[in-house]
Amino acid sequence: MANLRIVHCFRSPVGGIFRHVRDLTEAQVAAGHSVGIVCDSTTGGDYEEHLFEAMKDSLALGIHRTPMQRHVGPGDLASARRTYRIIQELRPNVLHGHGAKGGAYARLFGSLLRVSRSRVARLYSPHGGSLHYDETTATGKLFFGLERLMARFTDCLLFVSDYERTTYRRKVGEPPIPNRLVYNGLRAAELEPVATATDAADLLYIGMMRDLKGPDIFIDALALAGNALGRPLSAVMVGDGDDLPRYRAQVERLGIEGHVRFLPPMPARQAFALAEMIVVPSRAEAMPYIVLEALAAGMPMIATAVGGIPEIFGDGSPALIRPDAGELAGKLERAFGDLDAYRKLMPQTDELKARFGADVMAGEIEEAYFAALDK
């Protein structure tokens, strides 16, 4: 098999998209491909800098960071011009865009490179992205109209969950191009259990500090469940984001600041040791890595039945709730009534390994690259 020059383009180097790209680049470098990254320079903190530092020597095409706006605006033109110049110099034959902004750039710039007779496969992984918009709003109609337009500049769509593919079909339309469902993958080391620290809190929230991920739901439920149980529940909240001060204020307003610790981003498995149970209270998701990672580490979990999460647990799992503080509080009360019994309701390691292995993910995506180049 020929060695490829692969460039991954995405905006924000945080959370699930960054994790997905890191897993892919690791597998692609091991397979002998030359790989590079182009992403935003204004997001991410010390933790992400450490991750970039660990990757940089293995990426033959390098790590290139340039300012990229989250929303469409006047600054986009200058940002797009800079990003195109970087990609042009890297001479990729596979341009893989992740998320709305990365997907737009990969497909537009891949098409421009084709005009100059370069042979470039243009692939797009939405990872939720613009699919979270309501199709009945003006913003939703604009984005889904753009997605329909961009499909003609796309060689393959890669979905991380069946939910994401179904949502695309409902909001954008049946893809007129090849598309595949490829689940996010776990590394072998992640399928080992994590030992809980002796001074562990009851609950863990780990993720971006923004309402889409539901930290406010988590905090409200914490106070409600503590009242119902007759004892305060302790929690660790790991993550960063613009809304962090608002969540700190919410904790103080509810009078539970003595029982909640806020910590900066850290490796997931390090965070797992800090609590007995994890809660994923998101209002919207595609296929969140944190759910897979926590289950693989042997943690009991309560998660919202949004996005691809039910595909991990199976429909009707007692671990699933709506993104609602009252419902979460009720589930917490029942789970802490007998935590050992609740733990046994979680999906088992063998099942996770068979469906969500990183090697399976990387192999299927590589197949998609070569199929796109053979068109």
Burial class (CB in 10 A: 0-12, 13-18, 19+), 145: exposed
Q: Take residue 75 and report the two structure tokens written for it.
A: 């600054």
Beta bridge partners of 8: 37, 96
Q: At 261, phi and psi to the nearest 5?
A: -110, 130
Burial class (CB in 10 A: 0-12, 13-18, 19+), 14: buried
pLDDT greater than 90 at residue 30 = yes
- Length of the chain equals 375
Strand-strand pairing, 179-181 and 260-263: unpaired
| Structure token digits, residue 317 | 């799992």
Q: Does residue 366 surpass a pLDDT of 70?
A: yes
With a CB cutoff of 8 Å and minimum separation 6, the contacts of 130 are: 100, 143, 144, 146, 147
How would you class 291 by CB atoms within 10 Å of its CB: exposed for 0-12, middle for 13-18, buried for 19 or more? buried
Asked if 247 and 209 count as a contact pair (C-beta separation under 8 A), the reply is yes
- Dump pLDDT digits (tens) for 320-358: 999 999 999 999 999 999 999 999 999 988 888 888 988
Whether pLDDT at 362 is above 80: yes
pLDDT of residue 349: 85
Q: What is the pLDDT of residues 142-185, one digit of tens each?
A: 989 999 999 999 999 999 999 999 999 999 999 999 999 999 99
Burial class (CB in 10 A: 0-12, 13-18, 19+), 317: middle
Tokens of 228: 């119902």
Q: Is residue 30 within 8 Å of residue 119, measured between CB atoms?
A: no
243 pLDDT exceeds 90?
Answer: yes
Q: Which region among 11-15, 87-91, 103-107, 267-271 has the lowest average model confidence (pLDDT)?
A: 11-15
Residue 349 amino acid letter:
T
Above 80 in pLDDT, residue 74? no
Average pLDDT of the chain is: 93
pTM: predicted TM-score of the whole model, two decimal places: 0.84
H/E element, 344: none
Query: Amino acid identity, residue 257?
Result: E
Q: How far apart are CA 175 and CA 152, in angstroms?
A: 10
Asked if 94 contacts 6 with a C-beta cutoff of 8 angstroms, the reply is yes
CA angle 176, 182, 183 (to 5 degrees): 140
